[in-house]
Amino acid sequence: MALSTENIHFIETYLKKSGVVFMDIRLEMVDHVASEIETRVNDGDCRDFYFIFKDYMVENKRHLLKRSDGYYKIADKSNLKALFKKATSVFGIVSLLGLGFLLLTVRSYLEPDVTHTILKYAPMIILILFGCIYFVFTKIKKERFSLLERIGFYFAILFHIVNMVYSSYNSSQSLESSPGLAIMFFTTVILWIFLLIVINTFQLRSFYFSKYKHAL
């Protein structure tokens, strides 16, 4: 027996008020709790949803909230699968080639030192721009996503890697020469991965909102 949209909304609201602030993690937990309650109903529990839910949370709430780290792993695993699928799709390949072509065009039209600066700081500039957009989004929609908020940490690491790569490159090359293809490829892949992560996160949001239509 499938739960009603009102039941799903009740679970989602309960978890939100219990401190599960991230939408992607909360929806993974909603999915889990809903499945457990449906199993109990199918096993013969004929009581009203509220009483089944209440008993389930009395038994499992502490464990459920304590295992929130496990839901981060589940969400990350789902995201990585979706990310790989997106990366190997026609869109993924075309977007990678498109970004590569864009950067090669920049390389051919601008002075080498300007090109170096753009390639070096492009990932961090885009991350800051996205961070501002995400901040406004959270204020308007009142939604937060754990994966998007953790991107900042990973991209800070990538930015330091980019700096090290460019420092190593610049120590052996003059800024008067155009950046090599390896450097171009490295920057293109970083920007491409960032693009796919953002698109995948919002597609996941759309999937859950479609699945629990009118309930969330």
Cβ proximity of 184 and 104 under 8 Å: yes
HEC secondary structure over 37-63: HHHHHHCCCCCCHHHHHHHHHHHHHHH
pLDDT at 177: 47
Asked whether the predicted pLDDT for residue 191 surpasses 50, the reply is: yes
pLDDT at 211: 60
H helix intervals, the chain = 5-17, 23-42, 49-66, 68-87, 90-109, 112-141, 146-172, 181-211
Asked whether the predicted pLDDT for residue 147 surpasses 90, the reply is: no
> Which of 206, 213, 208, 201 has its CA nearest to residue 82?
201
pLDDT at 88: 92
Asked whether the predicted pLDDT for residue 76 surpasses 80, the reply is: no
How would residue 117 be classed by pLDDT, with cut points 50, 70 and 90?
confident
* Residue reference for tokens 């304590």: 66
What 94-97 contacts at long range (C-beta under 8 Å, 24+ apart), as own/partner pairs, is 95/192, 95/195, 95/196, 96/188, 96/189, 96/192
Q: What does the alpha-carbon distance between residue 82 and residue 197 come to, in Å, rounded to a whole number?
A: 9
- Which residues are CB-contacts of 147 (< 8 A; sequence separation ≥ 6)? 24, 75, 76, 79, 197, 201
- DSSP class of 110: S
pLDDT at 92: 92
pLDDT at 90: 93
How would residue 93 be classed by pLDDT, with cut points 50, 70 and 90?
very high
**What sign has the CA pseudo-torsion 135, 139, 141, 145?**
positive
* pLDDT tens-place string over residues 14-71: 888 888 888 878 888 888 888 899 888 888 888 888 888 998 888 888 877 776 666 6
Global model pTM greater than 0.85: no
